[in-house]
Chains A and B, each alone.
Chain A
Amino acid sequence: MRTFNQQFLRLVPSGRKFVIGIPFIWLFLFFMLPFFLVMKISFSEAALSIPPYSEIYTYAEQKFQLLLNIGNYTMLGEDELYLSAYLGSLKVAALSTMMCLVIGFPMAYAITKASKEAQNVLLLLIMMPTWTAILIRVYAWMGILSNNGLLNAFLMWTGLTDHPIEILNTNTAVYIGVVYAYLPFMVLPLYANLVKHDGSLLEAAQDLGSSNFNNFWKITVPLAKNGIIAGCMLVFIPVVGEFVIPELLGGPETLMIGRVLWQEFFNNRDWPVASALAVVMLLILIVPILLFNRSQAKEMEGRG
């Protein structure tokens, strides 16, 4: 009886397996598996049916047929629109990541220099916007940047220009919006990293006659490497696929891939092309994502 019980217990998953299994299965089912479906549908053809794509395999008369339609991918290569949308997204993402780093690094540095009490308050001030609807924060800029908005009114009042400058619905507005929305995501990981630095290293270097400039490039920046990678990736990767900001602040010339994908999916109802766009975007982003995951894993295990 006892041995039977033991054998029975062995079949029931242990607590350890449960603890690992539940999040693992959830993430596999709702995060990883869907990507394979996107891949599958990117090889199908658009059809007038529900759902609007054709099956890629058929089984009839003992024949299993797999029909891969690479037309979606060749179209991506041939059509000028998609290519310039990818390049446009990468350009916006790269430039705004740089801008966030240039603005965010001194900010994070200044926070680490404040008193412990002030640090808490400053962090809260940086963190608060990330919890607030991005839609609303972008919307706030629409009112400011429009032709008869506050910024133009201010510029004309100071006499810098006598007619309103067109900012809303241009790429400039997209850059402003992206830097605005993603700045906190740069500052927070940088702060988390910078605050761990040992100040005595800088003092020692200074005692040995190193200049401030030298100190910064030879000590602070190399030590902050993981934080810089995490911050840059937290900005760069989502911006490549950004939809809301180019849609609301950008103009017709703002070609970004997230926006094109949205239009293919919702306006043209072409699910296979939208899937192909997503697959190519993912291939472009796979290296940055792996970089981010590695720096995050280091950070999580406390090796960072």
Chain B
Amino acid sequence: MKRFGFSKFMLIFGLMFIYLPMLILVIYSFNASKLVTVWGGWSVKWYVGLLDNTQLMGSVVRSLEIACYTAIAAVALGTLAAFVLTRVTRFKGRTLFGGLVTAPLVMPEVITGLSLLLLFVAMAQLIGWPQERGIVTIWIAHTTFCAAYVAVVVSARLRELDLSIEEAAMDLGAKPFKVFFLITIPMIAPSLAAGGMMSFALSLDDLVLASFVSGPGSTTLPMEVFSAVRLGVKPEINAVASLILLAVSLVTFLVWYFGRKAEANRKRAIQEAMDQTANESWQQPQPQRVAATA
């Protein structure tokens, strides 16, 4: 019991360690003083000032656009990869495939970024595409590493799934393609949403990959923030950072909330269906037995 007390203490300590700095950042973004370390009363002037910063606003729009495309592509690619890893047990190069799917999770970003840039440069020389690096090249880079996260989330769900439902559909003559879209996809929908949101957030957040594969005129929000942060702490950056924090935590919370609700609904529906069939099979034999004895 003593160790339980210790681990509980560590949990509280760890959570405080994680959240206090963010809380302080948000509080200081409302600081009226130009000096970031002196408290000069509450004010929202830094937030209002952001709207006039057209360069920053441009990068926000660009980042959001890339994050949207990334989320869609990463979910599609990651789900396929997860499906292959959990359902197709034997094929040539499976070990290599597994490695390729999970390695982007841990690969240092400077290596991935550099190698992708060299690929794009070589491709531009060989086939003339991409002429200019920008949104598309950043999208490719982000999709590649976000797909790995999606694959991990989705494969965890796919493993939990009751295979018998898919098998039943196949036995009734549904083609694998149809089974996948009508049975599997609805059942893993919460984890698809989670994977999509995760990709969106990761893409919105990435600095290193984007710095390597972006071209002139395609500065993303993290690149903009980074070049400002390098010069020190600034109240405007506090405001941008707080807004990003707010947006991400809101999205995270919504995904979690709806995911949980969907899960609860699904479980209740299954339970109800089971109760119903149990009741029916309990009642059904009665008339038959009567007929047999008569």
Residues in A lying within 8 Å of B, measured CB to CB: 15-16, 19-20, 22-24, 26-28, 30-35, 37-38, 41, 51, 103-104, 106-107, 109-111, 113, 120, 122, 124-129, 131-137, 139-144, 146, 148-150, 153, 180, 183-184, 187, 212, 216, 233-234, 237-238, 240-244, 247-248, 258, 261-262, 265-266, 271, 274-275, 278, 281-282, 285, 288-289, 292-293, 296-297, 300-302
Contact = CB atoms under 8 A, between A and B. Distances in A.
A149 B25 CA distance: 12
B84 A20 contact: yes
B119 A24 contact: no
Given A26-B77, A128-B249, A104 B14 contact: yes
Main secondary structure of the interface of B (DSSP, over half): helix
18 contacts: A27-B147, A30-B141, A106-B6, A110-B11, A113-B8, A120-B260, A125-B18, A131-B201, A131-B205, A139-B237, A140-B21, A141-B21, A146-B233, A237-B106, A237-B108, A238-B107, A258-B110, A285-B108
Given A27-B101, A297-B98, A300-B155, A107 B222 contact: no
Interface in B132-190: 140-141, 144, 147, 152, 155, 159, 176-177
A111 B114 contact: no
Main secondary structure of the interface of A (DSSP, over half): helix
Interface of B: 2-4, 6-11, 13-15, 17-19, 21-22, 24-25, 28, 36-37, 77-78, 80-81, 83-86, 88, 91, 93, 95, 97-112, 114-116, 118-119, 121-122, 125, 140-141, 144, 147, 152, 155, 159, 176-177, 197-198, 201-202, 204-205, 207-208, 211-212, 222, 225-226, 229-230, 232-233, 237-238, 241, 244-245, 248-249, 251-253, 256, 260
B115 A184 contact: no
Given A30-B116, A30-B141, A212-B3, 9 more contacts: A15-B176, A127-B252, A131-B252, A133-B222, A142-B232, A143-B24, A146-B37, A184-B18, A265-B212
